[in-house]
Amino acid sequence: MGAAGPLAACRLCASLAFPAFAVNVFAADPCLAHIAGARSVESERYVLAYRTQPEQIRVGVHFSVVVSVCVKGGARAPESMRVDAHMPEHRHGMNYRTIVERADEGRYHAEGLMFHMPGRWEYVFELRAGGFTDRVTDSIVLD
């Protein structure tokens, strides 16, 4: 979890408070430009942007996630990506397993997610490359 760091949290706060700033962040990185409107999280080696489909998640309704991964500096491209989600306060995960398909270079499509109760859920993205795993999280509160 330390991999995400305060920078990711900061960027997220800033993008929520000032949409114009978020646009600038994406415009500055052409890698993320094609996933406009996405939330972004950052690890040591990657910047990950994701968007859910549908955008508005509802309790008990399946949804999918489109993920775009950008490699920082000289890091190697991820060999695989996994998406999972859990409720940290309740110490349980989802009742379904997510299936991830690689859509394109650095792009993934995760199917079969479902949040079966309201409250705080945390996404967990795991990117593997060269024997190391970058783990980044992002949480949302479901009414």
**Which residues of this chain interact with Cu ion, rule CB under 5 A?**
87, 90, 117
The CB-of-42 to Cu ion minimum distance in angstroms stands at 27
Residue closest to Cu ion, measured at CB: 90
In this complex, which beta carbon is closest to Cu ion, that of residue 23 or of residue 59?
59
In this complex, which beta carbon is closest to Cu ion, that of residue 13 or of residue 117?
117
In this complex, which beta carbon is closest to Cu ion, that of residue 49 or of residue 87?
87
The CB-of-48 to Cu ion minimum distance in angstroms stands at 24
Instruction: Give the residue from 99, 72, 52, 103 showing the smallest Cα distance to 5.
Output: 72
Cβ proximity of 69 and 110 under 8 Å:
no
| Rounded (10°) angle between helices 19-28 and 5-17 | 130
In this complex, which beta carbon is closest to Cu ion, that of residue 76 or of residue 90?
90
Cβ proximity of 29 and 70 under 8 Å:
yes
The CB-of-64 to Cu ion minimum distance in angstroms stands at 21
Burial 104-117 (b: 16+ CB within 10 A, else e): eebbbbbeebbbee
